[in-house]
A and B are shown apart, each in its own frame.
Chain A
Amino acid sequence: MARVTAPVPYTDGSTREQAAWSALASVPDPELPAISIVDLGIVREVSLAADGGLVVALTPTYSGCPATAVIRADVEAALTTAGLSPFRIETRLAPAWSTDWISKQGRARLADYRIVTPGPAGEQEGAQSVLHFHPRPLACPHCASRRTERLAAFGSTACKALHRCLDCGEPFEHFKPL
């Protein structure tokens, strides 16, 4: 697997935290192995506690995402391998995760895997009508045709919908804005 070099948000530049960020950038999302958990935006903070231990704050994507426990175990393994013990992993619910937090690099990687990236999360929220029969057709990530249709609002994972192209016939997934 290609190693993802992630941007380093939320650090004060201290080396132990930097090392943690780069260790975390090597942890792929179990259900979207194309991108790292850092690019997915679920690592919210890396800091040093008063006792010198690292504190890593993770946030879940969807409440019921079955990958959450696996991600936690993978993070433990990555930090241990990088020699960063002792550390503590915290779950942080607020603010709630949004697809807006997926990095530019993460979006590029999703696009490489022919997964249509989410638009702004505001498109899902707010005052739109409860009835939503004709979502704007997405451009096919294989042939760029706009003649596409949605097959299933809930796809292989809660975060994705399944679509297909009516021109090239290929199915593709859409990462839904949340």
Chain B
Amino acid sequence: MTTLTSIRLRDTPALRHVLRYGDTALIHAQRLTEWCGHGPVLEEDIAFSNMGLDLLGQARSLLAHAAVIDGQDFDADALAFLRDEAQFFNFTLAEQPSRRSSAHSPGADFADMVLRNFILASWFKQGYAALQASADAGLAAIAAKSLKEVRYHQQHNAGWVVRLGDGTPESTRRMHAALDRAWPYVAELFSHDAVDDWAQASRHGPARAGLGVGWDRDVDDVFAEAGLVRPPGTPFISTGSQGVHSEHLGFILAEMQMLPRRHPGARW
């Protein structure tokens, strides 16, 4: 039996820049689809799957674009299924466990996924809006298309953040707990590194720090309505976008990559 060996992409700021968006969309999509068949009500089960599908489509476009930038003749599937953990540049928040039944998630539940979805959709909305002006026309086109989709995601999850945050004592308790779990990973979304410097200088995209103003406005509006208060910040900044991940990404990749690595070219 053949097992496909890992591929290695070139390490350039241009590639890391695209993968920051593409890998976050991919891993977030994977977490969302874990809810398929487990949502608290059928409508929201379907909503998570639909949003996961949108994000998977965005990830496919972004990874295909990254493959072209890399220039080694890989395709989007190779990037998703044949890269090792340290070659992924998604935000750490996206890889956190999303369901209670996971062996690695003592408390995560529907509130966690709703809140994470809202936080990330709000971030993607700012990021894609800015990327529409990218000097990279291909990236700008993907961003313009994706922006329309994440607006719906943001709106839908914002409604649930309010329903749960300002709902029953139990839903309020759970949304507050979800906020405490998510918040340590939010700083990374607006941190700054050499890739941000490169993106800004080359006009390929925004520096993450610049996305905070619009994100704050949306999040503060919704939190005010939901009765949620931002937890205090800490010096901790997670490092998924540097390729240094929490223990959870390895498990996601094991599940996501096992079949295509074990059975190359498998179809159904």
Is A65 an interface position by the 8 A CB rule?
yes
As a 0/1 sequence over residues 112 to 156 of chain B, the CB contacts with chain A under 8 angstroms (1 = contact) are 000000000010000000000000011011101110110110111
The total number of A-B Cβ pairs within 8 Å is 95
Q: Are A94 and B47 in contact (CB under 8 A)?
A: no
Contact count band on A: 20 to 34
Is A94 touching B144 in the complex (CB atoms < 8 A)? yes
A123 vs chain B, min Cβ distance (A): 11
What residues of chain B lie closer than 8 Å to A132, measured between beta carbons?
155, 158-159
A134-146 CB contact bits vs B (8 Å, 1 = yes)?
Answer: 0000000000000
Are A66 and B53 neighbours in the complex by a CB distance under 8 Å? yes
Q: Considering only CB atoms and an 8 Å cut-off, how many residues of chain B contact the other chain?
A: 38
Stretch from A4-12, A19-27, A32-40, A147-155 that touches the partner: A147-155
Sample of 11 further A-B pairs with CB below 8 A, known A63-B149, A131-B162, A132-B155: A62-B54, A63-B54, A64-B55, A64-B60, A94-B140, A124-B151, A131-B225, A152-B46, A153-B43, A153-B47, A154-B50
Which of B's residues lie within 8 Å of A, judged by CB? Answer: 42-43, 46-47, 49-51, 53-58, 60-61, 122, 137-138, 140-142, 144-146, 148-149, 151-152, 154-156, 158-159, 162, 218, 221-222, 225
Pairs A–B under 8 Å by Cβ, sample size 19: A63-B145, A64-B53, A64-B55, A64-B57, A93-B141, A94-B140, A95-B144, A96-B144, A98-B148, A125-B148, A125-B151, A130-B218, A131-B155, A151-B43, A153-B43, A154-B43, A154-B51, A155-B46, A158-B54
